[in-house]
Amino acid sequence: MIVKDYFLPESLDEAVTLLAERGPDLLVMAGGTIAMMRMNEGHLLPDQVMGLRRVGLDAITINGKLSIGATTTLSTLANNESVPMLSQAARSAASWSLRNMATVGGNLFARNPYGDVATALLALNADLRVINRNGERVLPLADFFAANRQLEPGELLADILVPPPTGQTVYHKFGRRAYNTPAVVTIAAHITRDGDSVTAASIALNGVAATPVRAIPAEKMLVGQPLNGETITAAAQAAAETVDPPSDAVASGWYRQRMVRVILERVLTQIMEQEQ
Amino acid sequence: MGVNMTKVRGQGMAAINYPTGMNLGGDPSQALIHASTTGNFIISLSSTDLGQGLKTVIAQIGAETLGVPFDTVIIDTADTDTGPHCMGTFASRATHRVGNAVMMAANEAKKALLDVAADELEASPDDLELDGNGSIVVKGVPDRSISVIDTALAAHFKHGKTIAGRGIYMKPKSKVDPLTGEMDPDSTEAHACTVAEVEVDTETGEVKVLSLKSAYEVGQQVNPALVEGQIVGGALMGIGHALYETTNPYYPAIDHGPLNFSDYLMPGPAELPEMESVVLEFPSSNGPYGVKGVGEMTANCPIPAIVNAINNALGVRITTLPVTPEVVLRALEEKAAQA
Amino acid sequence: MASKVVSFTLNGRETEVMVKPLTTLQVVLREQLGHTATKTGCRQGGCGSCTVLLNGEPVLSCLLPAEDVAGQQVTTLEGLTPIDGLHPVQRAFFDHYAVQCGYCSPGMILTTKALLDRNPTPSREEIVEAISGNICRCTGYTAIIEAVEAAAQALKGGQNGR
Ligand SMILES: Cc1cc2nc3c(=O)[nH]c(=O)nc-3n(C[C@H](O)[C@H](O)[C@H](O)COP(=O)(O)OP(=O)(O)OC[C@H]3O[C@@H](n4cnc5c(N)ncnc54)[C@H](O)[C@@H]3O)c2cc1C
Ligand code: FES
Ligand code: FES
């Protein structure tokens, strides 16, 4: 690995300035669990790298919305119980030592079927605060994924903003091992009910496409309906029918498609059985 | 739909004979032993310890044959270029082959040691014995003795002699009888039987190994703790082969192969079943102190036992490895289609 | 390609090294400082054999640029091992035959040390979860889990590690 320059800016200002000056050739790296691995392997050979460990984006604050600094480690999020689905998602990722390095921001860039926290964030309708030398903008996470994770040149991801959940949440990472496992499929669901009837449904699936995606047809089928065996089966079936998952070393597309149905059925059943 | 309704259990069994060594074009291992000035014995080998404990059992065998304390035996497996020849650590052959070579070398070195001690004690070598604690004594006369250290010092600095020995064990190539196919490929055989219990989720196809209960017949155990280590470690490898591990998940399409340690699936510590094993000892006729090999076999017996348990649970006949959840679901679909 | 001087505390000692840009802590430890207890298994974050403690927390030195640890505390197995014997966690691994080839052992032992510092009485499940990033190909984990349990007992009994 031959890198000409490695920068460790001490502030966000310094980081966006460096990025503006150096342009897209400057590789941005947070926890490095994706970037360093690819460099060690020789799949990524940048001339210049910028590490974000010292820019001070590693805090979680609550101010109406939950704001998670982009370089917050998965361990820090796992130990923060303010949104249980998020701490659970963080705990489900990789191993202890890796979670001590990997960041929440970096998790949004993880290739399928990784991106456990990203999946939970998508179900929670998170927004991204993105910053460049001249200012900032807020971008829905769903749009970021729809645009294949492209930020504008010169932009850094600063924080992730999470509105407080209004309903019930269930997160289920289905992998081949109990711990430290890549996912077959991951499902995060956020369902709001009024009495018997579902008033809002947000279901995120991972392992089924290049990025985490929402199960829109299933969500639409549930809104206005009660949660029962019938509606759950129909929604799970609809979710499975609308995905065409890829095959990789963990599972085939054939198997993943079936598991979307089975696991979503289990997730929704769990929500049905929970107290509201 | 109740989640528990989808879980079914089954039991399966498998038994194996496992050869110690294999039929090569003559299969030798050699050993050299010499005493240092201070009476330690260095056993030089080019046999490799991969972690299974070869150095420990070879030191035990060497110490036992020499009649000296275990901690005065030093195993040097430093260099396959310069050490005495060994075919290698495979086919569960090392303890058997190398152990036999070391016994032969140790007997020669012991004779050289006793010759020097006999001079020092003014006794006949035939009247001497080693007490296992670092001394050579005249049989029946415990106060007439000399330490191994003093003997080694005397050999080096007074007599100008080496205390050394050479050993080889070679299994000759066995020719196949062209008419009957009869041959003698291995040196001895160990045996194992495993009963596996599994739980299969018929909705997801996941298999959980609940227990592995095994009986192993491995000849004389030189070191029971190391035998146990092989059995437990091998069992998890067996689960890996049975349920997880492959570099070609959807053969013949090879573009899904695992490219790194996180994508290559192996069972982890959470996937351990309850495990119980008993070890029976029927010494072999040709192994050092009656040993047989107990290496590779420990990964083998669990595999068919687990697959048989899955077949028993589901009423199907799966014959490919690994039995991934997808393989289970496809077998169930085929069964449903035939019904 | 300007090399930089990086100072950090290694096993309680102030240490200074000169590194090329993005050299990993793993390479610095093994190749510059001769601290070879830290292993190089995969360099992909997937095996745990390169685990070291950074301010007491397990991290993977193969993915960590040495410059990132400037001013911080790094502990390797060399630092855990007292001059005249074994740390109680090492002793437990030794006594329970939790080592075969030994490639996973430094990472396992440091992870165990970090676990027991936080949670002196871990359940079996907590042990399994903690070591799930440290792959052992040899032992089948049983002996390792038993060793961690024994180390917890020993440390509770007052044989304090550092
Ligand atoms: C062995 C192993 C196991 C894993 N297991 C899991 C798992 O179970 N679940 C899971 O979800 N993931 C897993 N991962 C993937 C990865 O570790 C995580 O997704 C992690 O959260 C990535 O974060 P990072 O900070 O380390 O990424 P980095 O490597 O630092 O970043 C990767 C890329 O993201 C971009 N980026 C990161 N932060 C920013 C920012 N603030 N602004 C702009 N761009 C940015 C950059 O382009 C950068 O190159 C695993 C990885 C490994 C090596
Ligand atoms: S070498 Fe660092 S995790 Fe394998
Ligand atoms: S002892 Fe060999 S990898 Fe654990």
| pLDDT tens digits, B137-165 | 999 998 999 999 999 999 999 999 999 99
Confidence of residue B2 (pLDDT cuts 50, 70, 90): very low
Q: Is the pLDDT of residue B78 over 80?
A: no
B165 lies in the same domain as B211: no
Partner-chain contact A255 B257, CB within 8 Å: no
Q: Mean pLDDT over residues B38-60, rounded?
A: 96
CA atoms within 13 A on the CB side of B326: 19
Cα–Cα dist A175/A68, whole Å: 26
Residue of C60, C75, C104, C111 best to disrupt the A interface, most CBs of A under 10 A: C60
Q: How far C140 CA lies from chain B's nearest CA (Å)?
A: 4
d(CA B62, CA B40): 12
What is the mean pLDDT of the segment spanning A192-205?
96
Assigned architecture for domain A168-273: 2-Layer Sandwich (3.30)
Q: What percent of chain C has pLDDT over 70?
A: 96
Band (pLDDT 50/70/90 cuts) for residue A61 is: very high
Can you tell me the mean pLDDT for C103-125?
Answer: 98
For chain B, what is the mean pLDDT? 95
Identify the pLDDT of residue B255: 86
Reported as a pLDDT band with limits 50, 70 and 90, residue B3 is very low
Average of per-residue pLDDT across B227-232: 97
When pLDDT is cut at 50, 70 and 90, the band that residue B234 belongs to is very high
Assign residue B96 a region (left: φ > 0; alpha: ψ between -120 and 50; beta: otherwise). alpha
Q: Note whether residue B64 is domain-resident.
A: yes
Class (C level, CATH) for A60-162: alpha beta
Task: Round the average pLDDT of chain A to a whole number and report it.
Answer: 97
Residue A209 has pLDDT above 50, yes or no: yes
> In this complex, do A39 and C22 lie within 8 Å of one another by their Cβ atoms?
yes
Over residues B62-76, mean pLDDT: 98
For A251-269, b where at least 16 C-beta lie within 10 A, e where not — what string?
bbbebbbbbbbbbbbbbbb
Task: Pick B261 or B269 by higher pLDDT.
Answer: B269
The predicted pLDDT at position C1 comes to: 63
Q: Is residue B190 domain-shared with residue B47, that is, in the same domain?
A: no
The residue among B77, B29, B24 whose CA lies nearest residue B49 is B77
Cβ–Cβ < 8 Å for B88, B43: no
Spelled out in words, what is the top-level CATH class assigned to the domain C4-79?
Answer: alpha beta
- Could you list the residue range(s) of the whole structural domain that residue B67 is in? 29-169
Q: How many residues does chain A have?
A: 276
Q: Show me where the domains of chain A are located.
A: 5-51, 60-162, 168-273
- Rounded to the nearest angstrom, the distance between the alpha carbon of B281 and the centre of ligand 1 is 53
**Do A110 and A34 form a contact (C-beta atoms < 8 A)?**
yes
Query: Given this model, what pLDDT does residue A275 score?
Result: 83
Q: Is B257 on the interface with A (CB under 8 A)?
A: yes
Atom of ligand 1 nearest to the CA of B260: 1
Phi first, then psi: give them for residue B131, nearest 5 degrees: -90, 0
Are residues B60 and B165 both part of a single domain? yes
Its ipTM equals 0.96
- pLDDT tens-digit map of C4-54: 999 999 999 999 999 999 999 999 999 999 999 999 999 999 999 999 999
Q: Which of C36, C159, C38, C11 is nearest to C95 (CA)?
A: C159
* B191 assigned to some structural domain: yes
Domain end call among B109, B144, B169? B169
pLDDT for res B23: 85
Can you give the pLDDT at residue C157? 73
| Orientation angle between helical segments C142-156 and C105-118, nearest 10 degrees | 40
- Which of B139, B169, B199 terminates a domain? The answer is B169
Structural domain total, chain B? 2
Tell me the longest C-alpha to C-alpha distance in chain B.
Answer: 90
Tell me the fold of A5-51: 3.30.43
Asked if C152 and C88 touch (Cβ cutoff 8 Å), the reply is no
The structural domains of chain C, with segments of one domain joined by +, span 4-79, 88-156
B265 touches chain C (CB under 8 A): no
pLDDT given for residue C159 in this prediction:
52
> Shortest CB distance from A179 goes to which of C20, C54, C129?
C129
* Separation of alpha carbons A129 and B108, rounded Å: 80
The reply to whether residue B262 touches residue A255, judged by beta carbons under 8 angstroms, is no
What is the CATH number for B62? 3.30.365.10
At residue B1, does pLDDT exceed 80?
no
Lowest-confidence segment of A22-26, A33-37, A76-80 by average pLDDT: A22-26
Q: What is the pLDDT of residue B5?
A: 67
pTM above 0.80, yes or no: yes
Could you tell me what percent of chain C has a pLDDT over 90? 94
**What does the pLDDT read at residue C161?**
44
CATH second-level architecture of C88-156? Orthogonal Bundle (1.10)
Report if residue B181 sits inside a domain: no
Strand, coil or helix: A272: helix
- Alpha-helical (H) ranges within C31-138 are 77-80, 88-95, 105-118, 124-130
Sign of CA dihedral C45, C51, C52, C55: positive
Q: State residue A64's pLDDT score.
A: 86
Together in a domain, B13 and B48: no
* End position of a domain, from candidates B120, B136, B169: B169
Q: Are residues B195 and B332 in the same domain?
A: yes
- What is the predicted pLDDT for the residue at A274? 92
- Domain shared by B153 and B69, yes or no: yes
Q: Are residues B252 and B164 located together in one domain of the fold? A: no
Say yes or no: B216 and B295 in one domain: yes
CB contact under 8 A, C134 and A95: yes
Residue B176 falls inside a structural domain:
no
Q: Residue A241: what pLDDT?
A: 98
Q: Which of C31, C36, C42, C76 to mutate to test the pocket of ligand 2 (most atoms within 8 A of CB)?
A: C42
